[in-house]
Chains A and B, each alone.
Chain A
Amino acid sequence: MSSLEERSTPLAWPESYGEEARERVGFFTDTSVCIGCKACEVACKEWNLIPQRELRWTGESYDNTSALGSEAWRHVAFVEQRAPLRLDGDGPERVDGALRWLMSSDVCKHCTHAACLDVCPTGALFRTELGTVVVQEDVCNGCGYCVPACPFGVIDRRELPAADRPGPFAGKPDGRVWKCTLCYDRTKGGHEPACAKACPTDSIQFGPLDELRGRAERRLEKLRSEGWNGARLYGEDGQDGVGGFGAFFLLLDEPEVYGLPPDPVVPTRRLPELYAAAAVAAAALVAGVAGALLGGRR
C-alpha cells in the first residue's frame, strides 16, 4: 500500500470489516468531456426511485437542478464564461472573448473523513465495505445534524410527502435525509452506478479509487500538454481537509466557480478542541455558581 493510500484510508476501514472489506471504489468525474446531457441525473433518479419535485426554470444557463439535495444526487452545473478554452495550440478555442461553456456533474464526495457520518447520532450513516458513505433509511430519524455538517452542502432532508409513513404520520413529509449511495445496491453486486453506466462520454468513471487516481493524473498531463485553460484535479489529494474524496473531479476552473468549496475541511477534525472548550465553559459555569453563592452574605 502506498503512503498516499494509507493517508486516504478512512478510520476503522477496511480493518473494521475484516474479511468483508473490499477495494475502495469511487468516481472520477472528468468535466472536460462532459456535454451536459444530464443522463446521469435522469439515470440516478430512475434507479434510486427519487420522487419528482416541483420544476422551476432558473435562467441559469441550462441548469434547472441548481444544487445537490435530497431529490438530486447528481447535479450538472453549467458555467458560461468569456474565456478561451485553450491557451495554446491551434484552433478556434484560442480566440479571446469566445464563449467557454463548462459543464460538470457534481455528486456526493464520499469523503475519507466524512462529517455527515461522524456527526450522525443514530448510526444511520455508515461506511460500507467498499469505503462509500451511505444512509440507512430505516434508521434515520431526521435529526438533520448531517445537513449543515457537510462542507459541500450535499446531504439534505426530504420535505416531500412520504408514501410509506404509518398511522398518524400518513401524508406527512418524508423527514429523512437522502444523498448519493454510490448505488450501493449495484456496487455490492459488482455493477457500476447508474450515472456512470448512463454517461455517454465517460465523463463519469467508476472504479477502484487508486486506479481512477492514476487515470486522472494521466488525463491531466494530456490536457496540460494540449494547453487547456485551467485544468486541475479537485479532491484527489489524500492530504486535504477531508482526507481525499471518494468521488473526485477534473475541473477547468476554480472549484467555487462550480459551487464547490476551494479548501473543504471536515468539522470533526476540531473535535478535541470543541469538547475542551465546552468542558472549560462548563467548569466556568460551576465556578460562577459557586462564586454567586459564596460571594455575598445573603
Chain B
Amino acid sequence: MSVRDGSVTRPRGEARSYYGRPILKEPVWKPEIPLYLFAGGLAGASSVLGFAARVTGRERLARTSLWVGLAGELASPALLVADLGRPERFLNMLRVFKVTSPMSVGSWVLAGSGAATTAEAACEALGILPRLRLVPAAASAALGGPLATYTAALLADTAVPVWHEARRELPFVFGASAAASAGAAAALLLPPGEAGPARRLAVGGALAGTAAAAVMERRLGFVGEPYRQGAAGRLARAAGAAALAGAALLAGRGGRSRAAAVAGGALVLAGELARRWSVFEAGFQSARDPRYVVEPQRARLSARGATPER
C-alpha cells in the first residue's frame, strides 16, 4: 500500500480528482491500430483456416484463405510502421526480444508469420514445391492463433482500466472476432458450394465474439461504462448488430445464394472491424476519466481494510 492516511476525511461516494483531469495518458495510437487489430486477426485466423483446409483436401478454400491471409500479413506491418512516431526506425522493433513486452513478442510473431505466409504464397503462385510448402504453411498456421490473440494481451498489459480489467475476456473477444473475419472473408469470395466450413466459422465466430464481448462488458461493471457510451458504445452496438445480422444471413441463405453469402460475409467483416474499433475507442474514454482509475483503486484499498500502517 502506498498511502498512509492522516486524518482528512473523504466525502462519501464521491471520487475526488485534480480539476477532473485524467490521471492516465490517453494512448497516442491512430486509426491504423484498430485497422491492424482487424487485419492481424484476419491474417492469423486465415492462416489457421487455410492450413486446416489444405490438410483436409479443400484446395479452393485453402487457396482463398492463403490469399486473404497474405493480404492481412502484408497490410499489418504497413499499418504498424505508419503509426510509429519514428517510422524510419521501425527495425528497432526487432532489436531485442522482450517477454515482458507483448508488443515485442507480437512483432516477432508477426515477422515470423508474415515470412511464412509470404513463402507459402510464393510457392502457390509459382506452382512449385508442393510438399515443402507445407512447412511454411504449418508455421504460419501455428503462429496464426497467437497473432490473432496477442493484441488482446498487448492492450490488457496497460494501465487503462477498461483494457487491463478485461484481461481474461479480451483474448476471447479478439480470437472469436478473428475467426469470424477469416470465415466471412472466405465465404464472401468463394462460391457457396465450396464455402461450408468458412460459413460455419463465420457464424460461430460472430456468435462467440458477440457473447464474449457481452460477458466482458458485464464483468467489467462500472469500469465497462465506455462500452455503453459515446463512440465506443455506438461501435459496440453496431458490431453486435452487424455481426449477428451477417451470421443470420450466412446461416440462413448463404449456402444457396451467392448474393446472400457476399452480403452476409461483408456484414460480419464490418461487424468485426467495428468490434475491434469499439475496444480501441473504449480505451481512450477509459483513460480520459479519472473516476475509472480512482474508484476501483479506492474500493481495493478499503477491501484491504482502509489504509493501515504496515
Residues of chain A whose beta carbon lies under 8 Å from any beta carbon of chain B: 58, 60, 63, 66-67, 69, 77, 79, 83, 87, 115, 118-124, 139-145, 147-158, 166, 169, 173-177, 220, 224, 228-237, 239-242, 245, 252-264, 267-268, 270-271, 273-275, 277-286, 288-298
Contacts and interface: CB of A to CB of B under 8 A. Distances in A.
B103 A119 contact: yes
5 contacts: A140-B85, A153-B159, A237-B310, A293-B56, A297-B196
Given A156-B28, A261-B294, A281-B152, A289 B18 contact: no
A45 to B, nearest CB: 19
Contact of A176 (B2, B86, B160): B86
Contacts of A233: 3-4
A274 B171 CA distance: 9
Interface string B168-199: 10111011101100110000000001001110
Given A121-B93, A145-B103, A237-B2, A261 B297 contact: yes
A289 B175 CA distance: 11
Given A142-B85, A157-B85, A285-B179, A254 B16 contact: yes
Nearest to B174: A281
Nearest to B152: A278
A272 to B, nearest CB: 10
B107 A121 contact: yes
Given A122-B93, A150-B25, A268 B167 contact: no
A60 B3 contact: no
A62 to B, nearest CB: 12
Contacts of A154: 25
Contacts of A254: 3, 8, 10, 16
Most chain A CB within 10 A, of B2, B28, B93, B179, is at B2
Of the listed residues B148, B150, B297, the one surrounded by the most CB atoms of chain A closer than 10 A to its CB is B297
A156 B10 CA distance: 31
A290 B52 contact: yes
A289 B2 contact: no
A282 B293 contact: no
A150 B201 CA distance: 38
A117 to B, nearest CB: 8
A295 B148 CA distance: 22
Given A119-B102, A145-B103, A268-B100, A256 B18 contact: yes
A288 to B, nearest CB: 5
* 10 A-B pairs closest in CB distance: A142-B85, A175-B85, A282-B145, A259-B18, A298-B196, A281-B171, A230-B8, A141-B89, A121-B104, A240-B2
A280 B172 CA distance: 8
B100 A277 contact: no
Given A230-B6, A288-B204, A293 B197 contact: yes
B156 interface: yes
Nearest to A227: B7
A258 B18 contact: yes
Contacts of B283: 148
Given A121-B98, A271-B157, A289 B48 contact: yes
Given A148-B160, A275-B153, A255 B101 contact: no
Contacts of B101: 118-121, 145
A81 B154 CA distance: 40
